[in-house]
Structure 1
Amino acid sequence: MARDESDATPLTRRAELIEWFAAGEKPKSAFAIGTEHEKVPFYRDGLDPVPYEGPQGIEALLAGVRAATGWEPIVDAGRVIGLAAVEGGGAISLEPGGQFELSGAPLPDVHATATELARHLDAVRAAADPLGIGFLTLGMSPKWTRAETPVMPKSRYRIMKGYMPKVGTLGLDMMLRTATVQVNLDFASEADMVKKLRVSLALQPVATALFAHSPFTDGKPNGFLSRRSEIWRHTDPHRTGMLPQAFAPGFGYEAYVDWLLAVPMYFVKRGETYHDVSGAPFGDLMAGRLAALPGERATRSDWANHASTAFPEVRLKRFLEMRGADVGDPNMIAAQAAFWVGLLYDEAALDAAWDLVRAWDEATREAMRAEVPRRALDTPVAGRTVREVARDALAIAEGGLRARARRDAQGRDETLYLAPLQAIAAERTRAEDLLALYHGPWQGSVDPVFTACTF
């Protein structure tokens, strides 16, 4: 998560909540790609997690990246907990367990996304190498227990850490031990948003299967190919899941607002202080009747921050955020952007993708979502397998990228970034590759992942 919003404009009407989402609409010519990815840090000597404090901690790492990039510090209660680009957007933030996240700038094509990622990794390595820090390309930390995982000094995370055990069994694992890659994409109108949301929600488990990369927990296989994805199924049912109402007739901004109003809040930020209001409805803040902050009323920043604490498999903000994938190596990060851009940014491809999934009912989508963390590409769906659907989706995405015809300096279009996914759909997931190594050459040890699966 990047820095929280700061806009004190008051909100007094439900219509203003709807208008906040509608303000995200853009002409197709202005569509951009925003990529976010998390990476779990570790000490190369000893394979231990990296705490915030100390001469070789996360705080020192942020200072090194700041020196390399000139980015401005993001401060919370006197502690630097992120960095923000001076120009052009983009930020570095810390997830609760120290996962180091780049929230990339809005960029015109996947080529620019890959370039941004390469520059970011160069800057991070330059700061991390002298500290003896490396970063995993796995969707979950493979070795340390939850208790062994450090917690970052970020005020909103203290509130979430206290609330999570009240609403689910694995919320703390989600916060402290998982890592994802997300791509954020634009919409032109309410109808365009709805169509893209439906397609991407239906196909999100397919992406989960293709990107499955978290088969180890506590130093051994965990029984899943994407344990990260399974953890999300047991985090908080009020704010996660497949958003079935998105497929109901008449769905749009208003229906999403109604769902979000039913999602309990975590916090209200005033100045630099995060007030714990966990469990309270946003409507109470709009009405000025929050028990924790009597008389305090909602602002635009409150609504934006609240929208960022809902976690469906595809999240609507002023863009659509794809949330189903485990993080992987740089090629896989670029592949995720290419997959969704190819499906959603070309009209013919979007139509074909909708045709691929439109016959699935809620039970089909939910059953696929439940099985994919364990079975990935072998999951059954509507008389087929996820592998077969993935191949069809990749073919559609390839066509969409060819139609976009965005070329790099060497004349290559964006289809080149789909190659890792095409190989996975033809063979097996990266998680299955790791399990084969664990049961073979690695002789039952997860320690080799700290060499094999690093940025």
Structure 2
Amino acid sequence: MSSDTPGGDGPPRLAPPLTEGAAEDLLRGICFKTGPPRTVGVELEWLLHDRDHPHHPVPPHVLEAAVTAVRALPLSAALTFEPGGQLELSSRPAPSLTACVDDIAADLTAVRSALDGLGLAPAGYGVDPWQSPRRLLREPRYEAMERALDRWGPAGRAMMCTTASVQVCLDAGEEEPGPLGYARRWQLTHLLGAVLVAAFANSPFREGRPTPWRSARQSLWTALDPKRTLAPDGQLPPRDAWAAHVLDTPVLCVRGDGPWAVPDGLTFRDWIRSGVPRRADRSDLDYHITTLFPPARPRGHLELRMIDAQPGDDGWIVPLAVTTALFDDPEAAETVYRTVKPLAESAGTGAAPRNPLWTAAARDGLAEPELRQAADVCFRLALEALPRLGASVAVRDAVAGFHDRYVARGRCPADDLRDVLTTGGARRPAHPKGNLS
């Protein structure tokens, strides 16, 4: 979830009203921008912790100083802050995996240095293991979001203020069918997603207590408004499915000059048809899209949103490298599709993330035998594909090390975190560090 939103957080400018047909045409036209896959991007969210006492809450004035210090840096990535003070770096589209890693690694070095001067450190957890939800940003967007998500219980505030992720961004793919075709790649995001949830689960604790989940972050998403967080209908062609999904999802908020309206159950399609509380325009549609949180979101490119933030300074590189390899190398893409399709089909019906396979991934991680087997195949395919994509030896070694440490043993980072926090209190887990840039 990013706080950079089209049109800003103010009321929309006067614009022609939007018709239902025009909205459908716009959505079909912008969701998948096709062509040979060439670029890679990543969005990294970090919790900000006291460097020496991570279980202590960071005072608001220190977080404000951190915001000021980091915003002063000459970063190549776009910088935003999330409602609970999480820091997000969104890379530029890079021409290769190596270039993406190099760009973000350089930015992170500068960010860590600035935070270190304030006694802070960026922390890679899918959910903050210690802190309760505490919203720091008072923008109208988050006031409205909090009111809307509160209808579904406390999970919304926890998601907004205590979660962090690694979001991998890849080109949509080619118009033509095949392993690099956009329709296949869109399908693969949902077939492979549960394996990525399981392999990179890293959030077994909340508010100082163990949970039944290895990815409590994923469990929070499934506890929210199901229409807003579900994958679109998999029976329809991708463009039609996305257009229908956007228009038939309830509007989270209607921007205005005063407090924003938070309608209950008003879909965007209903809004267009009724013209109440006012006529909707193109900027409203663009804004509405930013309030949808499916596990994968087509934004012209593909944005994979199901991966927990990872431990260590460089842990984020492994999910970025593995996912890029499995999507952008044609041989790996074809083989992984054949591997995960039967697994997903045998797990029962229901859209991701509310189906048995995704639930097992979030609860059990790679302790679930079929997910472990699938993850093993995925990592081996990625290791074969990474040299063909020009990945550095350091990146390939990081993927191999993760495979040996976790996948081959049926473990995920959450298992290490459980071991440390149940025996060592607030002590940080010891993760290998290295300069992979």
Partner of 1:215: 204
Partner of 2:362: 373
Partner of 1:390: 375
> What's the secondary structure of 1:422's corresponding residue?
helix
Q: CA deviation at 1:268?
A: 3.8
* TM-score, length of structure 1 as denominator length: 0.82
Partner of 1:311: 293
Q: Distance in 2 between matches of 1:46 and 1:340?
A: 33
Partner of 1:62: 67
Q: Distance in 2 between matches of 1:263 and 1:162?
A: 17
Q: CA deviation at 1:369?
A: 0.8
> What's the secondary structure of 1:449's corresponding residue?
coil
2:149 to 152, 157, 164: 164
Structure 1 residues 20 and 375: CA distance shift in structure 2, 3 A = same
Do the aligned residues in 2 keep the contact of 1:36 with 1:183 (CA within 8 Å)? yes
In the TM superposition, what are the counterparts of 1:246-265 in structure 2 within 5 Å? 246=234, 248=235, 250-265=236-251
Do the aligned residues in 2 keep the contact of 1:208 with 1:226 (CA within 8 Å)? yes
Q: Distance in 2 between matches of 1:309 and 1:16?
A: 16
Do the aligned residues in 2 keep the contact of 1:174 with 1:235 (CA within 8 Å)? no
Q: Distance in 1 between matches of 2:52 and 2:320?
A: 33
Q: Distance in 2 between matches of 1:342 and 1:318?
A: 20
- 1:337 and 2:320 are equivalent in the alignment: yes
Structure 1 residues 242 and 261: CA distance shift in structure 2, 3 A = closer
Q: CA deviation at 1:163?
A: 1.0
Partner of 2:122: 135
Partner of 2:416: 433
Do the aligned residues in 2 keep the contact of 1:402 with 1:413 (CA within 8 Å)? no
- 1:94 and 2:89 are equivalent in the alignment: no
Q: CA deviation at 1:434?
A: 2.2
Structure 1 residues 92 and 51: CA distance shift in structure 2, 3 A = farther
Q: Which amino acid aligns with 1:14?
A: G
Q: CA deviation at 1:258?
A: 0.6
1:32 to 17, 39, 44: 39
- 1:403 and 2:413 are equivalent in the alignment: no
Q: CA deviation at 1:322?
A: 1.0
Structure 1 residues 332 and 215: CA distance shift in structure 2, 3 A = same
Q: Deviations over 1:31-65 (max 9, x none)?
A: 2111011111122365433354x2x22x3222212
Q: Distance in 1 between matches of 2:205 and 2:237?
A: 39
Structure 1 residues 170 and 67: CA distance shift in structure 2, 3 A = closer
Of Structure 1 and Structure 2, the greater strand share is in 1
Q: CA deviation at 1:16?
A: 4.6
Structure 1 residues 16 and 150: CA distance shift in structure 2, 3 A = closer
Do the aligned residues in 1 keep the contact of 2:34 with 2:182 (CA within 8 Å)? no
Partner of 1:421: 402
1:226 to 189, 204, 215: 215
Partner of 1:193: 182
Do the aligned residues in 2 keep the contact of 1:167 with 1:237 (CA within 8 Å)? no
> What's the secondary structure of 1:34's corresponding residue?
strand
In the TM superposition, what are the counterparts of 1:294-305 in structure 2 within 5 Å? 294=278, 296-299=279-282, 301-305=283-287
Q: CA deviation at 1:206?
A: 0.8
Q: Distance in 1 between matches of 2:299 and 2:275?
A: 26
Do the aligned residues in 1 keep the contact of 2:159 with 2:220 (CA within 8 Å)? yes
Structure 1 residues 393 and 22: CA distance shift in structure 2, 3 A = farther
Residue segments in structure 2 that go unaligned for 5+ positions in a row: none
Q: CA deviation at 1:278?
A: 3.9
- 1:349 and 2:329 are equivalent in the alignment: no
> What's the secondary structure of 1:203's corresponding residue?
helix
Q: Distance in 2 between matches of 1:340 and 1:312?
A: 18
Q: Distance in 1 between matches of 2:57 and 2:420?
A: 23
- 1:151 and 2:136 are equivalent in the alignment: yes
Q: How much identity, in percent, do the aligned residues show?
A: 27
Q: CA deviation at 1:394?
A: 1.7
Q: Distance in 2 between matches of 1:153 and 1:401?
A: 43
Partner of 2:100: 113
Structure 1 residues 126 and 415: CA distance shift in structure 2, 3 A = closer
> What's the secondary structure of 1:321's corresponding residue?
strand
Q: CA deviation at 1:183?
A: 0.5
Partner of 1:79: none
Structure 1 residues 333 and 284: CA distance shift in structure 2, 3 A = same
Superposed CA RMSD: 2.8
Q: Deviations over 1:107-147 (max 9, x none)?
A: 1222222222222222222321222222211111111223x
- Comparing 359-368 with 93-102, greater Cα deviation is found at 359-368
Structure 1 residues 134 and 297: CA distance shift in structure 2, 3 A = same
Structure 1 residues 403 and 220: CA distance shift in structure 2, 3 A = same
Aligned residue pairs total 411
Residue segments in structure 1 that go unaligned for 5+ positions in a row: 72-84
> What's the secondary structure of 1:309's corresponding residue?
coil
